[in-house]
Structure 1
Amino acid sequence: MNKVKTYCWLFGINLFISAFTFGGGYVVIPMIKKYYVEEKQLFDEEELMDIAAIAQSSPGAIAINMSALAGYRVAGWQGLLISCFAAILPPLVILSVVSAVYSLIRDNRIISAVLKGMEAGVAALIVDLIIDMYALIIKEKQLFYTCMVPAAFILNYIFHVNVAIIIIGTLFVCIFKYQFFKVRA
């Protein structure tokens, strides 16, 4: 693709993804996978998961960070700026309109029903994402990482351990594992 076509594609696809994905950053991952990885093959699934990890650990909205990183990967700094602008534009316009007419729609049953339907769709997309991410972990064929996911789930769901504590704990466990095997090697 030439540069102008690439920039136009980045703007259009990020505008589309931002305008039609409701529910937060994790919903953006399957959309980026579909367009960047499967259709255009601009990078692979493993690189997408790396981008998702970086986007998660960076300050700001995950969806914006993902768009920026994917745009940077495809077209450098220009791609980053174009992707960011395209990802920010739809929420900005939608929130401006909603803010202007909020008093008219806040008690509308149809709007409430539409939002409830969107919640179900978002939940399905997040479950699909979790399955895809866990499949990538299983492909690594390392029992340690494969067992870490259900262990974290059990700690949170059954024993009600705070997610922040689980994340910090897994961080230290992974650092310890890395140091242990580095010393043995």
Structure 2
Amino acid sequence: MAEKLADGRKGKRGTNFTNPKKQMLTVIVKKYKNIMENKRTDAATTKQKAQAWEKISQDFNANGISPEHRPAVKLKVLWGNLKRNTRKNFSNLRQETFKTGGGSNPLKEDPLAMQVEEIIGNTAEPMENAYDEAALSENNDEVTGSLEWMYEEIQIDEDFIVQPTVEESELYVLYFFLIFC
């Protein structure tokens, strides 16, 4: 994508970032992790982030790893792309693990994604949800085991009838709703 200049014209496209350049950016961003990954959006935080990106740009260009000057805007776009690709990579790894039933995963972990994940923390992992389908299938024995105690045996003429109470019936309906919906 071409860079827009101040007068509205498009500038020349820069060269692609190589893996060593991406790794260098992750090392530099790690120094400013607390500022970069702050979720606040107030004026003071935004100003801190802009100043941090300028420092990151100075550090990146001072290393001499890249012959061309990389402005803070380009580095910020690269960092956003690295974070997005890391989340996508971890999502694909999780999906493949579920496909194989927890067996060997044909996808390999990306070392660059591991560095980025170390910085962004648990945003690459989904939040736990006790009511989603995966949690129910993992804890299926616990769920069905917990339903067994809800029934009372009532003896009538040597025949056993299992009859749930009102509260237990509601739980039973909720359980089947979660399983089949």
TM-score by length of 1: 0.27
Greater C-alpha Rg: 2
Higher strand share: 2
Of Structure 1 and Structure 2, the greater helix share is in 1
